[in-house]
Amino acid sequence: METDMLALSDWLDINKNQLSDLSDLVAGDLSKLQRKVIVALVTTDVHARDIVEELKEANVNSIYDFNWQK
């Protein structure tokens, strides 16, 4: 199985950019429903960012790595 050693770094960069964009949206003029949806997305994306950072710091490069499976 071939692995992309930069995949986690690439995903982390994408995720951080998306979080930045969502943060800009939250600062704008939104309805209550729109704000709640964006806050939920930010919460989910922050969790994903934290997990990806943890995997990157652990040098995980395979789905068979223990840290990937925990």
pLDDT in tens, the chain (70 residues): 345 667 888 989 999 999 999 989 888 899 999 999 999 999 999 999 999 999 989 888 888 888 887 7
- Within a 13 Å sphere around the CA of 40, how many CA atoms are in the beta-carbon half? 6
Q: Give the predicted TM-score (pTM) of the model.
A: 0.76
Place of tokens 């990157």: 56
pLDDT score for 8 = 86
Query: Can you give the residue ranges of every domain in the chain?
Result: 7-69
Q: How far is CA 14 from the centre of its chain?
A: 8
pLDDT score for 3 = 58
Q: Are 30 and 38 in contact (CB under 8 A)?
A: yes
pLDDT score for 54 = 92
What does the DSSP assignment read for 26-65? Answer: HTS---HHHHHHHHHHHHHHHHHHHHHHHHHHTT--STTS
pLDDT score for 1 = 39
